Amino acid sequence: MSRSETLFAAAKNHIPGGVNSPVRAFKGVGGDPIFFKSGKGAYLIDEDDRQYIDYVGSWGPMILGHGNPAIIRAVQEAAERGLSFGAPTAIEVEMAYKVCDIFPGMDMVRMVSSGTEATMSAIRLARGYTGRDKIVKFEGCYHGHADSLLVKAGSGALTLGVPNSPGVPASVAEHTLTLEYNNSDQVRELFNTIGGEIACIIVEPVAGNMNCIPPVPGFLECLREVCDQSGAVLILDEVMTGFRVSLSGAQGYYGIEPDLTTLGKVIGGGMPVGAFGGKKVIMDCIAPTGPVYQAGTLSGNPVAMAAGLAMIDGVSTAGFYESLSQKAASLMQGLQGAADAAGIPFTTNQVGGMFGFFFSDEKAINRFEQVTRCNLERFQKFYHLMLDNGVYLAPSAYEAGFVSSAHRDTELEQTINIAHKVMQQL
Ligand code: PMP
């Protein structure tokens, strides 16, 4: 038995499913997960000393690659000064200034410890601010596991909330309305009918939890418009896209100003950090200034802030996103070339340092339902062959992939060469 297999067997005795977050369990691709012990640059090393080129990057945060020396140093120095005080610190002020400077529409920001906390708090704030209960989300978008966001979309048109996780009360789920991503007509129709009852729209401005689906031209603009007309709050969930598709996220990339933004992943440099922020008039509703309660023992933790600030410094260098985007684009071109050479129907999406690929004969994939029609069997086979050859991709056909600045031409070329070999075997 490999060490990963031994560890997984042991893990299952005391950790549900052997993992602390479900997608790690390889349910999307079959087989057992790999246990990792270290990472350096673009590479991960597993418990059996096998090396992989990593395109998961801890699901987004490791945008400078693993073990970046500046981040490690910042964490070590902060840890020496103290792990947690549960009281205000200078570094939180520095972080708030930095974030508000990078995101022009953000007057104020509050730090939390995960993306889930950020979106959950933003929703509560939007409801408190507007005095309305209904929220709108989109099919295939994931915003963390808070009750009101774990709501399944029905097929087709608007579905009145049906909880898709036991434990979410129907009375909570009924306030969540789910629409089709990239379907502006549906959005307008809903807002024409009940716009005045809607507290907020929450959206992934580039969807990364149904593979990678960019917004079609006009979609984000439509969301901005209906929110302006109805008084609903527009929340761009940039937990994945923030500091990823550009320094100022998808809002900078597409030029859309939200009322509230949620952040996570990159902002923590690999430490547990999330944030939500936006217009002062809305943020003033949060306790202790206002009545909407939100709090956290470890929020703004000094070690996590040090990691996040070092990370933001690292991605703020001139040309960083042009180069990152170029890496992701050439990887996608390479995979497309490999598929074409093997006669495999295949298409790709890419925005900045975020990418997605689809075993599909449809040329443009921009809807959730198209993703569900992709050839899953072929994806699974491709996945395991790439893995066997030392390439670690997200273990699900419904997740975006990520490149880091540590992925050099060498790693990209090696990945493409492996893909050529693997596509011939599908
Ligand atoms: N929003 C988005 C867009 C995400 O991608 C995720 C996590 N993948 C979350 C929220 C939840 O973040 P976390 O896992 O840190 O709770």
Q: Which of 268, 273, 283, 261 is nearest to 201 (CA)?
A: 261
Q: Is 399 in the pocket of ligand 1 (CB under 6 A)?
A: no
According to DSSP, residue 103 is labeled S
Catalytic residue flag (residue 142): yes
What's the CATH fold of domain 70-315? Aspartate Aminotransferase; domain 2 (3.40.640)
pLDDT of res. 152: 55
Per-residue tokens: 182: 């990239």
Distance 293 CA to ligand 1 centre (A): 21
Architecture of domain 3-67+318-424 in this structure: Alpha-Beta Complex (3.90)
Q: How far apart, in Å, are the Cα atoms of 184 and each of 82, 220, 265, 292, 373? A: 49, 9, 29, 31, 22
Report the C-alpha gap between 334 and 330 in whole angstroms. 6
Q: What is the pLDDT of residue 170?
A: 87
**DSSP 8-state secondary structure symbol assigned to residue 237:** E
**Rounded to whole angstroms, how far apart are CA atoms 283 and 96?**
13
Ligand 1 centre and the CA of 203: distance in Å?
A: 12
Contact predicate 269/308, CB 8 Å: yes
Task: Report the chain's terminal Cα–Cα distance, integer Å.
Answer: 27
Is the CB of residue 325 below 6 angstroms from any atom belonging to ligand 1? Answer: no
pLDDT tens digits in sequence order for the chain, 426 residues long: 999 999 999 999 999 999 999 889 998 899 999 999 999 999 999 999 999 999 999 999 999 999 999 999 999 999 999 999 999 999 999 999 999 999 989 999 999 999 999 999 999 999 999 999 999 999 999 999 998 988 753 322 233 444 578 888 889 989 999 999 999 999 999 999 999 999 999 999 999 999 999 999 999 999 999 999 999 999 999 999 999 999 999 999 999 999 999 999 999 999 999 999 999 999 999 999 999 999 999 999 999 999 999 999 999 999 999 999 999 999 999 999 999 999 999 999 999 999 999 999 998 999 999 999 999 999 999 999 999 999 999 999 999 999 999 999 999 999 999 999 999 999
Amino acid 122: pLDDT: 98
**Do the domains spanning 3-67+318-424 and 70-315 agree at the CATH topology level?**
no
CB atoms within 10 A of CB 35: 18
Task: Verify whether ligand 1 is closer than 6 Å to residue 144 (CB atom).
Answer: yes
Mutating to test ligand 1, I would choose from 116, 204, 206 the residue with most ligand atoms within 8 A of its C-beta, which is 116
Task: For ligand 1, say whether the CB of 239 is within 6 Å of any of its atoms.
Answer: yes
Residue of 209, 398, 402 to mutate, ligand 1, most atoms within 8 A of C-beta: 209
Pairing status of strand 43-46 against strand 36-40 = antiparallel
Q: Does the CB atom of residue 264 touch ligand 1 within 6 A?
A: yes
pTM: 0.96
12 CA → ligand 1 middle, Å:
24
Are 277 and 108 spatial neighbours (Cβ–Cβ below 8 Å)?
A: yes
CB 54 less than 6 A from any atom of ligand 1: no
Q: How far is the CA of 164 from the centre of ligand 1 (A)?
A: 17
Domain residue ranges in the chain: 3-67+318-424, 70-315
Ligand 1 center–CA 168 separation, angstroms: 18
Which amino acid residue places its CA nearest to atom 15 of ligand 1? 115
User: What is the distance in A from the centroid of ligand 1 to the CA of 143?
Assistant: 5
Which residue's CA is minimally distant from atom 13 of ligand 1? 115
Q: Whose CA is nearest to atom 5 of ligand 1?
A: 240
- The residue length of the chain stands at 426
CA distance 168 to 292: 22
Beta carbon of 143 within 6 Å of any ligand 1 atom = yes
